[in-house]
Structure 1
Amino acid sequence: MAKGEGSIEKSGLEALSPFELKDELIKAAGGGVTGRPANLSMLNAGRGNPNFLATIPRHGFWQLGLFAMRESERSFTYMPEGVGGFPQRTGIVERFDLFVRENKGQSGIEFLAGAVSYVRDQLGLSAGDFLYEMTEGILACNYPVPDRILRISELIIGQYLRREMIGKHPFVGEFDIFAVEGGTAAMTYIFNTMRENFLIKAGDTIALGMPIFTPYIEIPELNDYDLNVVNVDATVENVWQYSKHDLDKLRDPRVKAFFLVNPSNPPSVKIDEASLDYMAEIVKERPDLIILTDDVYGTFADNFVSLFALAPKNTILVYSYSKYFGATGWRLGTIATHRDNVLDRALAQLTKEQKKILRKRYKSITTDPDRLKFIDRLVADSRTVALNHTAGLSTPQQVQMVLFSLFSLMDTPDAYKNALKRLIRSRKRALFEEMGIACAEGDPNQVDYYTILDMEYLGEKLYGRDFVDWLLKQVKPNELLFRLASEARVVLLPGRGFGTRHPSGRVSLANLNESDYRKIGRAVRKLVEEWVERYNDATGNKLDPGMVKK
């Protein structure tokens, strides 16, 4: 038995999601079940939680909180028991200006003052209305009203999405936004509301852009949905782009929806311009096709353009603030739909019986259920309709989203974005240098938040097909990952769990330091060199066990 082979014989491991298998790999590496290693030498590159975060908008958040407390304490001052009141709209701008002068030089003050100026001068919004919404929001003293998203917050977040997701691409019309608890909540709400409103039903066919974030693979298989899935494959041989042959699967009228992640997870490659244009042409032929694009990594890409920009009326845009701003614990995300969209048109075309069922479902929240927009049904369904009056993302979360958005909008030279790109790309170079492979650079579609170590592709490139064929016969699924965990205390996620066709491991380039990626690279190289030596012994060949730069 090969060393470490027994580790993968445990019953049921192959059926686990990669995020659950990660816990088993952490245990094999000597870590605790929480994912925080008991042994500090463990290197967990499995999960994509970044080890960087945006400090300036956070400083602004805490300073805004101090200002809001002053506003609250202006009321009930006769009560010494610590009772405050709601902020007052009248005079709030003047009191804020005084607060800024009194705290000049404190971290976050300059940003906060600049944010108010930007909202007033660049966006043409009322500084007083903005400050009042932010002050009341950060105090969390009222329900989220409107429940879908706060009024001025939607305008500011909308500007951010336009800049980062649409860029310079022409965009006609307006879109609505629903503020949600991160991208995973967005996925949950969308799948559920589509099912409840007969837009998808058991036995229907959807397409998945593969490889993809694992829950997209797992959700359609649940008995809640029981959907048939057609894979639209991006392959390593095609530099992780979809071929026209695969995209043509979307022309099939049986395919009701196409779900994708762009830039992809785990290859971390954005869809190229030609493929986006090709998909937009397919949508013109298939105006009934529903598209869901999860673009959380778009802000790490150069000149990113979402499919939402090219096919806005057919596309649901999901964006999360978690990775770019280092805010996974905040749970901040958005769902955006064009105000003239395929979803609302599909609702209008439902059968009389289906409409009757939905009138009963939504009659408690509107006098005209038939005209309730899809995005507003999302809001209601997020609270099982009956609790719609308590729907909405918590207001402090919305305030932080606004401050993150303003931080990006005000950063006209993209200083923060460029710093993150330099950071993660230097980590990728360090990883590949230690593996003995030249790091591929120059591809404008590479984002590099993650990288895939595709053992079949790299093995064939370095040692030839005979070696790869021999290796695949010797190595059980995930064996290399368990050996890296148990012998080198390195944790990666299985690429196969994301729908890749080759044995591979996903490396997050966001959550460790450069020196750690050098250690991971050395560990991978050592393991591969051992297999090359075993291949030489078994076959009599004389391959050089050291990976040679290509």
Structure 2
Amino acid sequence: MGNDMHPFVREAAEQTRKGFISRRDFFKYAACFGISAMSAGTLLGLSAPEIALAAEPDWKGLAKESPFEIKNRLIDMAEEACSKQQCSMINAGRGNPNFLNTTVRKGLSLLTLFAAETAESESPAPDTGLRIAKDGLAERFNAFIQAQRGAPGAVFLEQAMDYAARESGLDADELIFELTDGIQGDFYPDPPRIFPATEAIVNHYLDRVVFSGKPPKGKFNLFATEGATAAMIYIFNSLKENMVLTPGDKVAIVTPIFSPYLELPVLRDYGLEPVYIRGSEAMQWQVPDSEVAKLKDPKVKALYMVNPTNPTSVSLDADTVRRMAGTIKAHNPDMVIISDTVYASFVDEFNTFGALLPENILGVYSFSKYFGVTGWRLGVVMVHENCVIDRLIAALPKKKQAQLDLRYRLTSTKPGSIKFLDRLEMDSRQVALAHTGGLSGPQQAAMCLFSLFELLDETFAYKKSIMGILGKRWTALFKAVGLPEPKGNNLTRYYALIDLEQLATKLYGSGFAKSLSKRHALEFLFRLAGKYHTVCLPGAGFAGPAWSLRVALANISEEDCTAIGKNILAVMADYKKELG
């Protein structure tokens, strides 16, 4: 670089170092001579983060990327800043919690030990077990638990099995066999959709978490999946395969929302037209009537959402759910509602469309956040026994019915009678491999035990503990940043969405906020990462306000929350010096 650098560029660099030329103008000048931003920045003695800021990135182009891709760039900048400042990066970009349930993990370890020892006791060869027999297994389990009375997890495991035997309606031997053989993982999931005891127990759990102990009439059947992510993909694929959603159909999306859910329907795989149902910041992210009215359009075939929301941490209140459900029932009664309720466990007040429109809803739930099991991939889809989708499929023209019969004839001599719930499981393995489908046995056993833990916790001690941790982080962040702390029974406090334009107005007035808004909001995040080693995600990437950022509180400490608030203020102060 040194020998090839044009003398005019060297002179411009010297003028830039003396402050006579701005860095941004210097980079533009150097580019005219075909000199890269990295080479020009090195000539000025700048670090990579400083170069990234000064070289004026294509913010509009960058904003088209997923927030989670942008996050990787921010992490690189923050790490480099830390290497120079000898500090620790604060990564508030991921929603993976840093808290987890330990009691169930101990119980799972003990159940695994019982399964292995029981299999081994039937084998004549060392290091080898044989598949266990069902008869007398409950008695063998009770003897094992008595012998392990002082072991970690023993009390919980014994209580869990007693509760499950009462509530599942299964014979004790059948119950212990299902969970033991499940944790052993020595056989294909059978039935593939979900184990009977797991379905019964998880349904009890969902009655408590999703329906607040007051489930609607009728039965919800479950399909166990690899977390909520897989559930959503399976749902969209199956709706497409069954011609319930076809290219060009409109799908309503409640925003702000988890960014991949904005990207999913417009993929070429589906070709759907999104209709955004925008929550109002002035209404604490509830949905105004003007947005609810969009659901009257019969061309809107589906509605989907994350409730409680990501990134705003708000559960839709009873009035919002009532108004939206009433509009759907009156004007669009065949609408399919897809609701991701992964954060329902974190609020004291949760209102679900499943209570008012149970036949319309495909409820998705994941255990990942509440129990700290994102790596386990534990999720379910809830489908009512009188699901509206079965009626929609039955009403398809005969030609389309024949096409579907051809698809599902591999699994039944009467393919037309297959319910959507079972098609969902079959489609997850492209039908041809449906017999090997389903969530793995160990995952289902884990899901069952996590559900039993919550059901045994009559005073909600674990929930209160988790919500207490998040509450302290929430308070620390808003106190440090100087904005009013949002309050309410419908807040998860799992994420915080900080309105930077509102903050700018509060700090330095509306004139400054107006000047700031002429810049790109991503620049703020890159400054926060490059100078203050703090990673947050752009709120705009979640269909939130253009000048906002998302702070994930679940994986950082209370001290980090305070530091993030101070660092946001420091970036604001830098802009004030620059913009006046």
Tell me: CA distance 1:322–1:141, structure 2 relative to 1, closer, same or farther (3 Å).
same
Aligned to 1:65: 112
Match of 1:247 among 288, 292, 307: 292
Tell me: CA distance 1:40–1:202, structure 2 relative to 1, closer, same or farther (3 Å).
farther
Q: CA deviation at 1:466?
A: 2.5
- 1:503 paired with 2:551, answer no
**Contact 2:278–2:287 (8 Å) recurs in 1:** yes
Of stretches 515-524 and 402-411 in structure 1, the one that deviates more from structure 2 is 515-524
- In structure 1, the gaps of 5 or more residues are 33-37, 538-550
Aligned to 2:370: 324
What per-residue deviation string (whole Å, max 9, x for no partner) do you get for residues 132-156 of structure 1?
Answer: 1000001111110010001111111
Aligned to 1:134: 179
Question: Mapping of 1:384-423 within 5 angstroms?
Answer: 384-423=430-469
Question: Mapping of 1:147-546 within 5 angstroms?
Answer: 147-285=192-330, 286-441=332-487, 443-473=488-518, 475-535=519-579, 537=580
Q: CA deviation at 1:168?
A: 3.5
Of stretches 495-504 and 134-143 in structure 1, the one that deviates more from structure 2 is 495-504
Aligned to 1:42: 89
Higher gyration radius (CA): 2
Q: Secondary structure at the match of 1:319?
A: strand
User: Partner amino acid for 2:444?
Assistant: Q
**Contact 1:169–1:305 (8 Å) recurs in 2:** no
Q: CA deviation at 1:40?
A: 6.7
Q: Distance in 2 between the 1:26 and 1:338 partners?
A: 43
**Contact 1:212–1:264 (8 Å) recurs in 2:** yes
Matched pairs, number:
527
**Contact 2:227–2:367 (8 Å) recurs in 1:** yes
Q: CA deviation at 1:438?
A: 3.8
Q: CA deviation at 1:263?
A: 0.5
User: Partner amino acid for 2:69?
Assistant: E
Q: Distance in 2 between the 1:393 and 1:491 partners?
A: 34
Q: Distance in 1 between the 2:373 and 2:80 partners?
A: 24
Alpha carbon RMSD of aligned pairs, Å? Answer: 1.8
Q: Secondary structure at the match of 1:259?
A: strand
**Contact 2:316–2:350 (8 Å) recurs in 1:** no
Tell me: CA distance 1:451–1:202, structure 2 relative to 1, closer, same or farther (3 Å).
same
Structure with the larger helix share: 2
**Contact 1:31–1:39 (8 Å) recurs in 2:** no
- 1:84 paired with 2:129, answer yes
Q: Distance in 2 between the 1:7 and 1:329 partners?
A: 39
Of stretches 63-72 and 458-467 in structure 1, the one that deviates more from structure 2 is 458-467
What per-residue deviation string (whole Å, max 9, x for no partner) do you get for residues 219-242 of structure 1?
Answer: 111111111111100122221111
Aligned to 1:546: none
**Contact 2:225–2:231 (8 Å) recurs in 1:** yes
Please give the TM-score of this superposition, normalised by the length of structure 1. Answer: 0.93
User: Partner amino acid for 2:439?
Assistant: L
Q: Distance in 1 between the 2:494 and 2:573 partners?
A: 27
Q: CA deviation at 1:501?
A: 3.0
User: Partner amino acid for 2:78?
Assistant: A
User: Partner amino acid for 1:65?
Assistant: T
Structure 1: 4+ residue segments shifted above 4 A: 1-4
Tell me: CA distance 1:58–1:8, structure 2 relative to 1, closer, same or farther (3 Å).
farther
Aligned to 1:102: 147
Tell me: CA distance 1:524–1:201, structure 2 relative to 1, closer, same or farther (3 Å).
same
Q: Distance in 1 between the 2:108 and 2:56 partners?
A: 47
State the percentage of identical aligned residues: 42
Q: Distance in 2 between the 1:117 and 1:156 partners?
A: 12
Q: CA deviation at 1:107?
A: 0.9
Q: CA deviation at 1:125?
A: 3.6
Match of 1:14 among 45, 63, 72: 63
Aligned to 2:31: none
**Contact 1:140–1:396 (8 Å) recurs in 2:** yes
- In structure 2, the gaps of 5 or more residues are 1-22, 25-49
